[in-house]
Amino acid sequence: MISTTIYDAGIIKFKTPTPTRTPTPINIGNLVWHDLNGNGIQDAGEPGIAGMTVQLWNAAKNNLIYSAVTNANGIYAVIAPVPGDYRVRVVPFNGSSFSPKNQGADDTKDSDINASILSADYGFSDIFTIAPNVISTTIYEAGLSIVGPTPAHAIITTGVFRPSNGLLYLKNANTTGFADVAINYGLAGDYPVAGDWDGNGTDTIGIYRNGMFYLRNSNTVGFANLSFAFGLPGDQPVVGDWDGDGFDTIGVYRNGTFLLRNTNSAGPEDITFALGNPGDVGIAGDWNADGMDTTGVFRPSNGFIFLKNANTTGFADVALNYGLAGDMPVIGDWNGDGTDTIGVYRNAQFYLRNSNTNGFADIVFALGNPGDMPISGNWDGSLP
């Protein structure tokens, strides 16, 4: 046999898959302005408003996604993680009034915020949809016909907790001197926390013990007003206003992962994400003055600090070195400018800085004894 034709081969032809769009964060803006004549239209000469908090929410208004503050010209940008349905919220200063929405024919010159205080959507835009092909949109504006005064910010001061016996010493000024408040709350070995648990503007004490929080609504001796389980023994507690509602709530930091809760009650975490390394110390503050607290970590082995402007996994927005190995971090708005900044406690000395940058301490003073733990808060509820 010199030839055969019985061996065949079939080819299966595969359809090349259609490329899909890699999810890209979408920038949403653009302006909050003073509508001097109250007509709901941006007229020539009407200025932007600085320092306004602008938030991005989901359509149902039950998930705050991003928060930002308008710049000196009233410009803002919030970021949507993926295409979908959203709302913008503008948080007005006390005494402010929004202009009527959707005035005129130019959608780039009107106000998009619901102005009626009787509406459930007051301060929010209507639902809008970001299509898959959009990477930026700048048509969401807010006019205010009356602009109230820029809110004052409390100056945060410090205190110490003595882990050997549960004594707390609180100061109403960041200076050396005797404590303004001295009380016993908690037991030896407890971990101190402080926050505005009831939204009245005054920070009060609490402790964390073996997976249980014990929070008190006054800086006085007595039983806990709130007690509930969250986290595990060995977790490190953190406190912040995670959703910008004016109430501080709790969380824990565990082996490089934050688990945060939006109410002071037992239950599963509302937010969880990774940041830092095992052995880091979790911290929290309003790093960008947007009215919402986000997290960071302090690395006690070398004094490095990594701060994030969103409670999500990702690279730090700010990285700096402040302090020495073995220092304990403390966070607060030391100068009343609305931005929380860093500090450390070392051998009964506080070293506080008024910016989240490398440099020397702006405020140095003694309080407590070596071995004490630092805390911070607005203990008397005062404003400048």
User: pLDDT tens across 188-238, in order?
Assistant: 999 999 999 999 999 999 999 999 999 999 999 999 999 999 999 999 999
Q: Which is nearest to 75 in space by CA: 106, 35, 47?
A: 47
Alpha carbon distance 340, 330 (integer Å): 10
SS3 label, residue 379: coil
Mean model confidence pLDDT for the chain? 91
Q: For 291, how many CA atoms within 13 A lie in the half-sphere containing its CB?
A: 22
Exposure class string for 334-344: b at 16+ Cβ within 10 A, else e: bbeebbbbbbb
279 to 75, 212, 234, 254, 307: CA distances (angstroms): 39, 21, 12, 9, 16
The Cα angle at residue 335 between residues 382 and 203, in degrees rounded to 5: 40
46: number of Cβ within 10 Å: 16
Residue 7 has what pLDDT? 53
Q: Is the pLDDT at 93 greater than 90, yes or no?
A: no
- Asked if residues 141 and 125 have their Cβ atoms less than 8 Å apart, the reply is no
pLDDT digits (tens, 9 = 90+) for 109-147: 999 999 998 889 999 999 999 999 988 898 899 999 888
**Exposure letters 47-66 (e unless 16+ CB within 10 A, then b):** ebbeebbbbbbeeeeeebbb
Residue 367, C-beta contacts closer than 8 angstroms, at least 6 positions apart: 158, 159, 160, 169, 171, 176, 179, 348, 349, 350
Pick the CATH number of 26-146 from 1.10.3720.10, 2.60.40.10, 1.10.3300.10, 3.40.50.2300: 2.60.40.10
pLDDT over 90 for what percent of the chain? Answer: 77
* Angle, CA 114 vertex, CA 110 and CA 117 arms, to 5°: 140
Which pair of structure tokens corresponds to residue 217? 């609504």
Q: How confident is the model at residue 23 (pLDDT cuts 50, 70, 90)?
A: low
pLDDT band at 8 (very low <50, low <70, confident <90, very high): low
What are the residue ranges spanned by the domains of the chain? 26-146, 157-377
CA nearest 127: which of 82, 60, 81, 68? 60
Distance of CA 354 to the CA centre of its chain: 18
- CATH architecture, range 157-377: 6 Propeller (2.120)
Q: What is the pLDDT of residues 139-179, one digit of tens each?
A: 899 999 888 777 778 999 999 999 999 999 999 999 999 99
What is the pLDDT, as a whole number, of residue 215?
Answer: 98
Residues ≥6 apart with Cβ < 8 Å to 274: 256, 257, 258, 313
